[in-house]
Chain A
Amino acid sequence: MTARALSNILFLSPVLVSNLLLKLEIDDAVDAIPVHAGNGIWGCIATGLFTSPTLYLQAGYASADPANAAKVSPSDDRRQPNC
């Protein structure tokens, strides 16, 4: 079920996009919609799939784990998500 949904998002919808551009006669001469729409969606999904907890803390975000929610990385003196 999840795999079916994921493959629909990743592969079926791009094909729909291509046919939609043809049907609506959108003059997308530089393929801006396939580049930005498809990969914008993929980038948002991939961030959730691949984010490392270590790097998440290093980047200054508070821990996603509720038990450690108060723990903020040492570098975090510019963002204060727990205030």
Chain B
Amino acid sequence: MSGHSVTLQVLGTFILWFGWYGFNPGSVLTMGAPGAWKVASLAAVNTSLAAASGAVSAMTLRWLLSSENVFDITAVCNGALSGLVAITAGCATVWPWAAVVIGFVGGLIYIGGEGGGGAERRSGAK
């Protein structure tokens, strides 16, 4: 997209992703209580898996819908964020396999919601 830096977008995505580890595992609020480390570590694992699978599914669906044979880094970044948003509610209470499913569907919902081409398509830019 003209006027925008994809490099900075990737940097910002990874800053958000890193910060999410302070959000989901940090929401346990303590590591001192018995068993709290289990909850925090499960949240960290689920956060990682959902973000990764959201990135993969968004990238794949954008590629399937696109007429050009390219993988869109914007879809990867926003797909990872979609996976993070989707797993936040349940990160302490679902098994890691469910985190993969939740993140995967999250990436698909993102591509559905932005209408196939994202902000670039809506702005009319090419």
Taking Cβ atoms with an 8 Å cutoff, the residues of A that contact B are 10-11, 14-15, 17-19, 21-22, 27-31, 33-40, 42-44, 46-47, 50-52, 55-56, 58-61, 73-75, 77-78
| 14 residue pairs from A and B, CB less than 8 Å apart | A10-B112, A14-B112, A14-B113, A15-B115, A18-B112, A29-B123, A31-B110, A33-B113, A46-B89, A46-B90, A50-B101, A52-B93, A55-B93, A77-B34
What's the Cα separation between A17 and B95 when bound, in Å? 30
Taking Cβ atoms with an 8 Å cutoff, the residues of B that contact A are 4, 29-30, 33-36, 38-39, 42, 78, 81-83, 85-90, 92-95, 98, 101-102, 105-106, 109-110, 112-116, 118-119, 122-123
What's the Cα separation between A40 and B38 when bound, in Å? 25
What's the Cα separation between A35 and B58 when bound, in Å? 11
What's the Cα separation between A17 and B40 when bound, in Å? 34
- Is the contact region of chain A dominated by helix, strand, or loop, or is it mixed? helix
Taking CB as reference atom, which chain A residue is nearest B109?
A: A38
